[in-house]
Each structure stands twice: as C-alpha cells, then as structure tokens.
Amino acid sequence: MSGGDTSASAGSAAPAAPATSASEEVQRLLRPDLRGRTPYGAPQLDVPVRLNTNENSYPVPQVVVDAVLAALADDVASLNRYPDREFTDLRKALTAYLEKQSGVSVTPEQVWAGNGSNEVLSHVVQAFGGPGRTALGFTPSYSMHPIISETHGMTWVDGLRSAATEPDAFDLTPESAAAQAREHDPSVVFLCSPNNPTGTALPFEVIGAVLEAAPDAIVVVDEAYAEFARPGTRSALTLVAEHPRLVVTRTMSKAFAFAGGRLGYLVAAPELVDALRLVRLPYHLSSPTQTIARVALEHAEVMLGTVEVIKHQRDRIVERLAVLGACPVASDSNFVLFGGLRDEKATWQALLDEGVLVRDMGIAHHLRVTAGDPDETTAFLEAMTRLAPTHVEREDRQA
C-alpha cells in the first residue's frame, strides 16, 4: 500500500450513513411520555407594550440597585467557595417579610426557597409525587402544575371549574373541589389563590374541604400573586400551623419586580420542609441569588411601592373592558382575563399589530392582559377601544 493510499484496511467498512435525521434519532431515544410535547414559554417579542407575562413593569428602584451592588462585592470575592446550603440569612429575611405582610408568624425551619417558585413546586412533586401517583388541579389554572407533575412521572387529572357549564365563570366551590378530590385520591393537589389565568382569589373554604377530602395528599396553595389581592382576602398561611400536609408557595417575581432574580419560596411544616432536602440539588441557590433576594426583602417597602398603582391599573382595565362590552373577570392579581371576543386569536394578532402583546391562554374567546404602568395600560385600552366594534361579540357596548 502506497503512503498516499488512505483507503480503509481490509476487512473494515466505512460507517453507514445515518438512516434517520438527528431529530428522529432524538425523538426515538426520548422518554415516550415526552415525545411530541412543546416546552413552556410565552412569546418574547420586541414590541412597544409587553403585557403578556405578568411581570412588574417598573424597574428595580435605584436605592435597591445600589444596596445590591454593595452587598455583592463580598460575594464576588468569595465565589471560590460554595454558597450556604441552608440559605440561613435568606430564610430569616423571608420570615420577617411574611410576618409583616401577612401577620402570620413562621420560623426559618418552615421556609424553603428555590430558583423561582417552579423549582420549589418541583421539589414538592419530586418528594411526594412520582410514577404511580396522581396530581390534581382545577383547570384553567397555572400551566406549569401539570408540566411539573407529568415530567416527574405523575398522572395528571384536570379537575373542573364551573366554566364547564358557564363559559365566563371560573369559580371553584368547596363541594365540587372536595368531591373531585375524593374521586381521584391524589397524592398532590394544586390550588391557586389568586388563580392564574383567571385572577380570582380562591374561596377560603376550598382549602379545608380539599385537605379533609384528600387525607393522603400534599395540598399546595400557590399564592404567587398574593400581594395584589383585594382587602379582606385571607392567605392560606393562616392554616399552615394546624395542617402538616399544607404547602403555601410564593414568589418574588411579581409584586417585588424581581422576575430576573429567580427567587420563589414555600412555607410548610418543618418536617415537610426537611423532606425536600432529599431531592434538592447540592447548593441549588447561588450566593449572588441569596444576597440579591435578601437585600430586596430588606427593602420590601420600597420594592412593593408600585403594588397599589398596579392594582389601580388592573381595576381600570376591568372597568373599561366592561364598558366596551367584553367580559372581564374580577381580579385579585396583577392581570385581567377577559372574554366576549369573537375570535381570541384574531384579537391577539390585532393587538400585536397595534404594538401591544397580550397572552393567548388557549381559552376560547378569552385573552389575558397584565396590568402595566399607566402609559402601557392606556395603550392597551385605546387599542381595545379601536378594536371592540369588530372583535367584541356583545352588542350592548357603551363606548
């Protein structure tokens, strides 16, 4: 064989060309229950008015920015070391905030935190769910609850709200919730108060009814929007001390204008919190994350300074949409679900053409809009005023 001969040696064969595409090969190897799924995510489009992800439109106040930068200096110098695995100082800051905000006294041992509330929800499902177990939620509700449950091997059950018979009502009664819990015997039950995407606070009696009807279930009350609730709305935090199977989750992404900080947390019995250590990844909260969240909590009054303004914009949206003949759902959150649309997809596109991005939640004749700052809210309402004659199906518009 000459030196320039690069042919394969006798007996060897060149690798066969792949018979399938990379996409087909990945799908073949993927878990069967994940094939054909699409990942969670709202459109991130560059438009003048983005009101589709329930973010707080206001930037972090400069005084907090300065305090965070000063506190991070020490963290950056010691990034060669792992963070505090138990996030001790952050837990203390969370308990102090919760006591002031809700009037409920909790201990650091009752608090758990993660990179957004989705991570702490995932910890709960990993610890108390899994293959062969059932999770129950009441649709429409937060779409990550079934995603987290099913991707951890659970069987998901879509419980029903009154919308099954009343297209523009999304109530959940204690009797209905309890009956469905008894029927499905779940290991985890998800409740939302205020509920996403409807915005409505949960009738408080539902929580006790579900706890009684599902004696073998961890009952999760997702209170991501609790700070926006109307006066008199009770928090499930008041029940934690007497119910060891109750978990209340919250987030700093909404009212705290801290979506990019990725900090969610829960409150539960110390024994339940201790069980979550079995499934958390090592050192899951970085030192900068812990520091940024702690400083934000120390400036809670400043960080929450826009909540009342946002609530006013929310109520303004409800009032104006009703005048336009749409069917807004009364809200305890920082967004409004509204129905009465002839074609929600056409309305979504028409609003986008006007430079306003809202959320299509997959509910017929409905869209969801975040309450932004006054200018953003005005832009949305002016666009809807122009679109109402052709997009709102009710005939009794007063505009």
CATH value at residue 131: 3.40.640.10
pTM: 0.90
Q: What is the pLDDT of residue 329?
A: 93
Q: Are 115 and 264 in contact (CB under 8 A)?
A: yes
Residues 377 and 297 in one domain: no
Beta strand extents in the chain (DSSP E only): 49-50, 111-114, 134-139, 155-160, 188-192, 218-222, 246-251, 264-267, 327-328, 335-339, 356-357, 367-370
Q: With H, G, I as helix, E, B as strand and everything else as coil, classify residue 96.
A: helix
Q: At what angle do helices 287-298 and 88-102 cross, to 10 degrees?
A: 30
Assess whether the previous peptide bond of 48 is cis (omega < 30° from 0).
Answer: no
From the centroid of its chain, how far is CA 372? Answer: 18
CA distance 209 to 159: 15
Q: What's the total number of domains in the chain?
A: 2
The reply to whether 213 and 350 lie within a common domain is: no
State whether 281 and 315 are in the same domain. no
- Which residues have a Cβ under 8 Å from the Cβ of 73 and sit 6 or more positions away? none
Read off the pLDDT of residues 310-342 as tens digits, 9 standing for 90 and up.
999 999 999 999 999 999 999 999 999 999 999
Domain membership of residue 323 (yes or no) is yes
CATH number, position 380? 3.90.1150.10
pLDDT for res 164 = 45
Residues 179 and 273 in one domain: yes
Tens of pLDDT, residues 19-52: 678 988 898 898 988 888 888 877 788 999 999 9
**Mapping DSSP to helix (H, G, I), strand (E, B) and coil, where does residue 42 land?**
coil
Q: Which domain holds residue 211?
A: 62-303
Burial class (CB in 10 A: 0-12, 13-18, 19+), 184: middle
Indicate whether 39 belongs to any domain. no
296 and 160 within one domain: yes
Helix (H, G, I), strand (E, B) or coil at 284: coil
Q: Are residues 98 and 239 in the same domain?
A: yes
142 — alpha (psi -120 to 50), left (phi > 0) or beta?
A: beta
341 found inside a domain? yes
Q: Residue 336 and residue 370: Cα distance in Å, rounded?
A: 6
Q: Which of 240, 272, 303 is the last residue of a domain?
A: 303
- Omega of the bond prior to 244 within 30 degrees of 0, cis? no
- Residue after which a domain boundary falls, among 256, 282, 303: 303
- Could you tell me which of 235, 276, 297 has the C-alpha nearest to residue 110? 276
**How does DSSP classify residue 203?**
P
Question: Does residue 257 share a domain with residue 271?
Answer: yes
State whether 298 and 179 are in the same domain.
yes
| Domain membership flag for residue 397 | no
If you write DSSP's letter for every residue of 121-132 in order, what string do you get? Answer: HHHHHHHH--TT
Tokens of 66: 């300065």
| Amino acid 23: pLDDT | 85
Answer whether the bond into residue 194 is a cis peptide, omega within 30°: yes
Rounded CA separation 75/264 (Å) = 21
Q: Does the residue 269 lie in any domain?
A: yes
Same domain flag for 85 and 222 = yes
Q: Is the CB of residue 135 less than 8 Å from the CB of residue 190?
A: yes
Task: Report, as ranges of residue numbers, the positions in the chain whose pLDDT lies below 50.
Answer: 1-4, 6-9, 164-165, 167, 395, 397-399
The token pair at 115 is: 């990179």
What tokens were used for 60? 């972090």
For residues 249 and 108, membership in a common domain is answered with: yes
Whole-angstrom Cα Rg for the chain: 24
Residue 313 lies in a domain: yes
- Final residue of a domain: which of 245, 275, 303? 303
Beta bridge partners of 135: 156, 188
Confirm if 162 and 172 have CB atoms less than 8 A apart. yes
Question: What Cα–Cα distance (Å) separates residue 144 from each residue in 163, 289, 384?
Answer: 20, 22, 29
- Do 149 and 285 belong together in one domain? yes
Instruction: Find the distance separating the first CA and the last CA of the chain, reported in whole Å.
Output: 90
Evaluate whether residue 20 is within a structural domain: no
Could you tell me if residue 387 is inside a domain? yes
What pLDDT shows up at residue 381?
98
Q: Are residues 274 and 137 in the same domain?
A: yes
Enter the tokens of residue 180.
């469905």
